[in-house]
Amino acid sequence: MTIATNRADGWPQATTVGYVNDGYLLYCFVARNTQKYANILRDPRISIAIASDARNPLDIKGLSLAGRAYEVADRAEFDHVSKLRLKRYPEYAALPRPTLSADALGRTSPQPSPANVVLLRIAPDVISVLDYSKGFGHSDLVTFSASDLDVHLRSISHRWHGMTAVGTDADDLSTTA
């Protein structure tokens, strides 16, 4: 997944990150000391592209997304997504436990430390689903309203035992595309 953020000087910055999804929500872990995290703190609007290379142009499938990134503060949600990540990337389970001097290892460890790593929840405003098998350049546009995401968050919040409501950033989901 490539995530594009807005730098302070106005230039976009695109970086590749690992991700998991839980329904329409995307999650990724990022180090607290990265430029992309600083960019998101200043401006949570992001763009995402997810796809793989295809030899035949009519085999292209993927999506692009415009949305907002929020730091997950709820520990139960953090732990839930950590488990989802281990299902998607089982090779992380084999990594050794991080040491104080192994910053990169600490970010990819099976259970990263919230002191060094931020879990971002990415809530979509609009998704463009690419499927060139339906015709070269074909895409379907899916938009989300605040109530769509609110219902979705509530439908999966039972997985996060300690979550009392949608989350402290629920009011931030009130924007639409």
pLDDT digits (tens, 9 = 90+) for 85-113: 888 777 776 766 655 544 444 444 556 66
Residue 63, domain member (yes or no): yes
Residue 151, domain member (yes or no): yes
**pTM (global) more than 0.85:** no
Task: Write down the pLDDT at residue 120.
Answer: 95
| CATH, residue 109 | 2.30.110.10
pLDDT at 77 over 90: no
Residue 177, domain member (yes or no): no
Cβ contacts of 154 within 8 Å, gap of 6 or more: 166
pLDDT at 177 over 60: no
For 52, the domain range is 2-171
Q: Closest Cα to residue 139, out of 153, 126, 129?
A: 129
The number of folded domains in the chain is 1
Q: Is 131 exposed, middle or buried (0-12, 13-18, 19+ CB in 10 A)?
A: middle
Residue 106, domain member (yes or no): yes
Task: Write down the pLDDT at residue 5.
Answer: 97
Banded model confidence at residue 176, pLDDT cuts 50, 70, 90: very low
Task: Write down the pLDDT at residue 49.
Answer: 95
- pLDDT, one tens digit per residue, over 6-37 is 999 999 999 999 999 888 889 999 999 999 99
Residue 176, domain member (yes or no): no
Banded model confidence at residue 154, pLDDT cuts 50, 70, 90: low
Percent of the chain with pLDDT over 90: 34
Cβ contacts of 126 within 8 Å, gap of 6 or more: 65, 66, 67, 141, 142, 143, 144, 177
Mean pLDDT (whole number) for 30-52: 94
Task: Write down the pLDDT at residue 2.
Answer: 96
pLDDT at 139 over 70: yes
